[in-house]
Amino acid sequence: MPSEVKVNSSICGFTHRITGQLEGRKTVITDIETDCSKVAKIAHMEIPKKQTLNIKENYVMDQAQDHCCATCIVPAGVLHVCKMELGMLSPTLAKQSERVSIEFNVD
């Protein structure tokens, strides 16, 4: 069963659904359902396992750099899906945590 996350980019008004599934032992195939024209450009990716481990030489971040806004949180969502598919993030822990958030404390 594929891993799935919902990314709520409320600051720009979009919600994205990201699914991913491990193909073989070394590639995660991800798909993004989105109404954002920029994110749509990275809606389907075949991500090599070795290029999910760091910030440098990271396939997802490289693709996002060419297409997404600098503050887009979708790439982080894609990487969380990859980590679940690769066994580096427990789906049980992810479900218990429910969400990752950024809180703006502006006066």
Contact between 46 and 27 (Cβ < 8 Å): yes
Q: What is the pTM of this model?
A: 0.93
Model pLDDT, residue 101 = 85
Model pLDDT, residue 1 = 84
Supply the mean pLDDT for the chain. 94
pLDDT digits (tens, 9 = 90+) for 50-91: 999 888 889 999 999 999 999 999 999 999 999 999 999 998
Model pLDDT, residue 103 = 87
Compute, in degrees rounded to 10, the torsion defined by CA atoms 33, 52, 60, 99. 50
Handedness of CA 57, 23, 9, 100 (dihedral sign): negative
pLDDT for residue 36 is more than 80: yes
- Collect all residues with Cβ–Cβ distance below 8 Å to 106 and sequence separation of at least 6: none
pLDDT digits (tens, 9 = 90+) for 6-34: 999 989 999 999 999 999 989 999 999 99
Q: DSSP letters along 41-98, please?
A: TTSEEEEEGGGGSSSTT-HHHHHHHHHS-TT--HHHHHHHHHHHHTTSS-HHHHHHH-
